[in-house]
Amino acid sequence: MTKPLLKLSNLNKSFGALKATDDVSLTLLPGEIHALIGPNGAGKSTLIKQIAGGLRSNSGTVEFDGRDVTPLGTVARARAGLGRTFQISSLAMEYTVLQNAVLGALGQDGSVMRFFRPVMKNKALVDRAMSALVRVGLDGQAAKRTADLSHGQRRLLEVAVALTLEPKVFLMDEPMAGLGASGS
Ligand SMILES: Nc1ncnc2c1ncn2[C@@H]1O[C@H](COP(=O)(O)OP(=O)(O)OP(=O)(O)O)[C@@H](O)[C@H]1O
Ligand SMILES: [Mg+2]
């Protein structure tokens, strides 16, 4: 039998009296795509945060790639191969598209910002960032300031940033939010 990549068992999260997630169990096999749907406030973002490590569950476990990652925080889970994008953008707007992707390739650790110039000379990192941009079709915009991208292009850049870490599982919170039919 194929081993699950991600296994959620009985996850719960309450905010005071409000139960945001209630005993959620789910198994994700390699190659599978799951969509989580529900109205505003249903608990979708809460569950994604519980899986990615940004929010500690009240109970339940998250196993990823055969390992119990429940005690781990976001950075450790991201490094283990759990990638995510955010419902609200986490891009550095004054940086270029390529610089944002390089930051992603570094593991999104804010403390590296002051070493930014030398980092841009790190060919392996820049190459990894560029190939993520190619994958989402943003390589032509690499030198552009992120603030000057269209909304749709920013969503694509967020995907590229997450892809730089070559995640095994990729979580997207509202990937289509704010995108009209024209994709702009
Ligand atoms: N940090 C928090 N503190 C208190 N309540 C919270 C917190 N985060 C979420 N909630 C509440 O938990 C419920 C679930 O919120 P969540 O953001 O997970 O929903 P969602 O399904 O992602 O909604 P949307 O479609 O609007 O993004 C909501 O009632 C929300 O107000
Ligand atoms: Mg949400």
**79 φ, ψ (degrees, to nearest 5):** -70, -30
Residue 113: pLDDT band by 50, 70, 90 thresholds?
Answer: low
Domains of the chain: 6-80 (3.40.50.300), 97-163 (no CATH)
DSSP 4-66: PSEEEEEEEEEETTEEEEEEEEEEE-TT--------TTSSHHHHHHHHHTSS--SEEEEEETT
Residues with CB under 5 A from ligand 2 (ion): 44-45, 87
Task: For a ligand 1 pocket test, name from 13, 21, 36, 40 the mutation site with the most ligand atoms within 8 angstroms of its C-beta.
Answer: 40
Contact criterion met (CB below 8 Å) for 107 and 157: no
12-62 pLDDT, tens digit per residue, is: 999 999 999 999 999 999 999 999 999 999 999 999 999 999 999 999 999
Answer yes or no: is pLDDT of 114 > 70.
no
Tokens of 57: 């569950």
Q: Which protein residues are within 6 Å of ligand 1, measured from CB? A: 15, 18, 20, 38, 40-46, 87
